[in-house]
Amino acid sequence: MLRLLLLRHAKSDWADAELRDFDRPLNSRGRSAARAMATFLAEAKLKPNLILCSTARRTRETLSRLLPVMTHEADVRLLHTLYDDSEGNYLPQIRQFGKDARTLMVIGHNPAIEQSAHGLFGSGEMELKSDMELKYPSGALAIYECPIDRWADLKPETCRLEAFIKPRSLPGEEG
């Protein structure tokens, strides 16, 4: 059984209209939400041993808020394809780069992170699924248990949704 953590980057800053989409940073609310998510991950003892992260600035800044609370070793791969393929889903990258990770985290963009999360749902609480389908906000995290031994075997509609965490549900965060 493998665990998959699908994290949408935290809220980005749109103040500078001259910036390319790729170069947008997090705004203050996004920085705060990413720190709160980092605390949640640490307290829940969710320890990804591989993190696949888009190369866009806002995903790298989200990652930078997670790393200080990680007390374990983890490989980090920055993948430009997670930015380029953000209109599709991330299953191909998970299959290709997941290798032997027991717990894999993907930090990416919508709509791909959301479509990946929806597409993997095979079982779990319908209330969680409905909440995730209603909105997958910036900084949200879907946690899946996948009944496989290697990521190359990942298939749609086969994983169990264990949790769906939104930043506003975390202590100290507002929606």
Q: Specify if 64 maps to a domain.
A: yes
Q: How far apart are CA 123 and CA 27, in angstroms?
A: 35
Q: Specify if 35 maps to a domain.
A: yes
Average pLDDT over residues 40-57: 96
**Domain carrying residue 83:** 2-169
Q: 89-125 pLDDT, tens per residue?
A: 999 999 999 999 999 999 999 999 999 999 999 999 9
Number of domains in the chain: 1
Average pLDDT over residues 150-165: 97
Residue with tokens 């894999």: 104
User: Would you state the pLDDT for residue 174?
Assistant: 55
Q: What is the CATH number of the domain that holds 92?
A: 3.40.50.1240
Q: How far apart are CA 162 and CA 79, in angstroms?
A: 26
Q: Specify if 12 maps to a domain.
A: yes
Q: Specify if 175 maps to a domain.
A: no
Q: Specify if 145 maps to a domain.
A: yes
